[in-house]
Amino acid sequence: MNRFTITGLALACLGSAANAEQGVSIYGSVDEGITYTSNVRGHSLVATQDGINKANALGFTGSEDLGGGKQAFFRLENGFSVDTGALGQGGLMFGKQAFVGFGDRDIGDISLGRQYDFAYQMLRYLPCLQCGIHSVENADLDRVSGQRLNDAIQFLSREFGGLRFGGIYSFGKDSANSSTNKGRAISGLVQYSSGAFSAGVAYTDINGAPVFAGLTGAPAMFGRPLTPASTLFADKQRIVATGASYQWQSLKLSALYTNTDLELAGRHARDQVLHMGGEYQLSGNLLLSGKVSLDRLDSSRWVTLSGGIDYRFSKRTDVYLDLHAQRASGASGTVASIALAGTSSSDKQFLSRVGIRHLF
C-alpha cells in the first residue's frame, strides 16, 4: 500500500543461510501496527498499517570470494504487505532491490540493477529515525525515505581515513512503465566519519521523475491546482541533501537539510526541509527520540513535531509508540498532510501509532 517506505540503513540480523556453501542468506523484516489519525479529509481514522516503521521485506543476499580481496555479490529484495499479502512496489517480484556486483576490499564495490539513489544514505542523519515513515517530508519529495533507480550502475568506495564516496548513473531505458525515473538519472555521495561525528552530502538529478504532489498538502504546484490523488511527472528533479550527527554517551544529536528543485514545462517548485532532533538511550532496551521538522514548498509551510518510544525485547523484536503533530500555514488552501497519513481538511493533523517490528 505504501508508495514510499523507510527501509533502514542496514539490513540487520541477516538470517540463517539458505545455502552455506554458496554464502547465500535469507533475511527480512515484518512491521505491523495500529494508527490513529485525527483528520483525514475531514474525518478521524483508526486503521491497521504495515511497513511504517520499517518496510516489510523478504530478501536474498550472497557473495563469492574470488581471492585476492575480491568478491562477487548479489541482492534480491521483495516488498510486501502484512495486511493483505500483496507484493509491494507496484507488484514487482523484487521491487525493493535487485542487483549484482563486483567488489574489491581496498577500493570499493560496483553494482548493476535496481538500486536506491544516494538521497537514501541521508536517512542515517534523520532525527527520530525510529519514528518511521511519518517523520519524513510530506510527499517524500527529497527521496530520503528510500526510492529506487532502474537500470543503474553504482560505485561505492571503501572508507579512506573516514572518507567514503560514490556515484550512480541510471540509463532509464526501461521507462515505459517506470515508477522511478523515466529518463537518465545521476546521484553522488560524500560521507565522512571520525569517532562520534559523522556528516554527509548527497546529490540526485533525475529526468522524468514521479512526484506525489497531492500528498504535500499544498493547494497548487507549477501553477496547477492539486487534489490528494495528484501525481505529476517532473521534467527534472534535483536534490541536494546534507546531514550530520554526533554521539555523546547515550545521547545522539542529528540534523538533516534537503533542498529539492522540481521543473515541469519550464516552471519551478522548490521544497526545503530542515529536521533537527535526537535520541536518548534511557536503558539498554528503551530508546526515546524526538525532532522538529520545518518544511517550505513555495509559499506553503509546515511544522511537524515527532516523538517516539521504542522498547526492545531482543535484537530482533521491539514494540514502539510514535506521535506526530503537524500545523500548516502560508498559501491559502494549504493543509496538514503528515507523510503517508492522507491530507487533512484543515491546517492541523495529529497521528499516533503503536506497533511491533520483527527482524529475521
**Domain CATH for 323:** 2.40.160.10
Helix, strand or coil, per DSSP, at residue 123: helix
Neighbouring residues of 127: CB distance < 8 A, sequence distance ≥ 6: 253, 254, 255, 256, 275, 276, 277, 278, 279, 289, 290, 291
Give yes or no for a contact between 110 and 101, defined as CB atoms under 8 angstroms apart: yes
Pull the grid cell for residue 336.
Answer: 496538514
Question: Is 37 part of any domain?
Answer: yes
The residue to which cell 509508540 is assigned = 321
Question: Is 25 part of any domain?
Answer: no
Question: Is 219 part of any domain?
Answer: yes
Tell me, what amino acid is at 24?
V
Q: How many domains does the chain have?
A: 1
Per-residue pLDDT of the chain (360 residues; tens, 9 = 90+): 344 555 444 433 333 333 334 589 999 999 999 999 999 999 999 999 999 998 999 999 999 999 999 999 999 999 999 999 999 888 888 999 999 999 999 999 999 999 999 999 999 999 998 898 999 999 999 999 999 999 999 999 999 999 999 999 999 766 555 568 889 999 999 999 999 999 999 999 999 999 999 999 999 999 999 999 999 999 999 999 999 999 999 999 999 999 999 999 999 999 999 999 999 999 889 999 999 999 999 999 999 999 999 999 999 999 999 999 999 999 999 999 999 999 999 999 999 999 999 999
The residue to which cell 545455502 is assigned = 19
- What's the pTM value of the predicted model, to 2 decimals? 0.91
Query: Residue 48: enclosing H or E segment and its boundaries?
Result: strand 43-50
Residue 349 CA: distances (Å) to CA of 134, 282, 326:
12, 29, 5
Taking the CA atoms of 17, 23, 24 and 26 in sequence, report the sign of the dihedral they define. positive
Question: Is 67 part of any domain?
Answer: no
Tell me, what amino acid is at 52?
I
What domain range is 190 assigned to? 32-54+100-344
